[in-house]
């Protein structure tokens, strides 16, 4: 029997390997709660390795794309900056692959959910720009690299009224989120801001030109707030509505 669950492609991370790692050779990784969050929301999670040249082929076989976060940054050159902050860490192959998957998903108009760095990549794809290191630009900012465990809340975000995100969280004005980033969206390009932290840092974007193209800066796969589970349900539901 063919599964009726929407197939959700989830991007993997790529580690170069080493003596004290899982393997001495290059290996792919993904935190399990990305997968379980999609499955719990009714989706069929499928991990996507990082092959930029296969972007269109992969996107032809999925109903939705989840761009995950990771301990790396988007190349500043991709949003028009020639200077690179010392804290910036790049993973060029991953960025190339995720950019290819994102472009192919937009061509097919399939739903996209971006988390943390995934949201930042979406903003850049929409012509936006990033803050390379929050503390340098806002010394009084909240601790966006929270000291407490990631499965606990760090701060609250205010949801922008009349956005798609506001509708997904039943019109709630504020939700609790975790936080694990040193960069942030500066401008969303063609996108629309849908969530903002108390210190003014952009925490969510969406693109009204697409049926479901939504990114959040926090990590909803941890399910800290009921809004996190609602977001995954809405994403999977949108993926299941493809014709």
The catalytic position among 98, 203, 206, 221 is: 221
Q: How many CB atoms lie within 10 A of CB 115?
A: 25
Residue 219 designated active-site: yes
Q: Is 11 left (phi over 0), alpha (psi -120 to 50) or beta?
A: beta
The catalytic position among 144, 155, 181, 219 is: 219
Of 109, 108, 72, the residue nearest 92 (C-alpha): 72
* In contact, 100 and 94? CB cutoff 8 Å: no
Residue 221 designated active-site: yes
Q: 118: which residues sit within 8 A by CB, 6+ positions away?
A: 11, 66, 67, 68, 69, 98, 215
Burial of residue 5, with CB atoms counted within 10 A of its CB: 0-12 exposed, 13-18 middle, 19 or more buried: middle
Burial of residue 22, with CB atoms counted within 10 A of its CB: 0-12 exposed, 13-18 middle, 19 or more buried: exposed
Report residue 5 as tokens.
């669950």
Of 235, 191, 228, the residue nearest 212 (C-alpha): 235
Of 163, 188, 166, 187, the residue nearest 175 (C-alpha): 166
The catalytic position among 98, 116, 144, 155 is: 116
Pairing of strands 44-48, 27-29: unpaired
Active site residues: 116, 219, 221
């Amino acid at each position: 029997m063919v599964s009726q669950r929407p197939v959700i492609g989830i991007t993997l991370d790529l580690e170069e390997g080493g003596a004290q790692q899982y393997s001495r050779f290059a290996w792919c990784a993904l935190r399990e709660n990305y997968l379980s969050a999609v499955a719990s929301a009714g989706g069929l999670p499928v991990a996507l390795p990082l092959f930029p040249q296969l972007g269109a082929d992969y996107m032809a076989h999925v109903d939705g794309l989840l761009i995950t976060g990771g301990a790396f940054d988007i190349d500043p050159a991709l949003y028009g900056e020639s200077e690179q902050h010392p804290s910036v860490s790049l993973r060029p192959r991953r960025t190339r692959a995720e950019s290819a998957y994102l472009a192919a998903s937009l061509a097919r108009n399939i739903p996209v959910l971006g988390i943390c760095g995934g949201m930042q990549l979406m903003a850049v794809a929409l012509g936006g720009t990033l803050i390379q290191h929050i503390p340098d630009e806002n010394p009084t900012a909240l601790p966006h690299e929270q000291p407490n465990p990631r499965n606990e809340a760090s701060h609250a975000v205010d949801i922008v009224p009349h956005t798609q995100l506001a509708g997904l969280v039943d019109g709630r004005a504020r939700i609790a989120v975790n936080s694990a980033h040193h960069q942030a969206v500066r401008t969303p390009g063609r996108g629309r801001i849908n969530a903002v932290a108390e210190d003014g840092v952009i925490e969510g974007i969406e693109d009204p030109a697409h049926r479901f193209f939504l990114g959040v800066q926090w990590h909803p796969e941890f399910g800290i707030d009921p809004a996190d589970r609602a977001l995954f349900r809405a994403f999977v539901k949108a993926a299941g509505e493809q014709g």
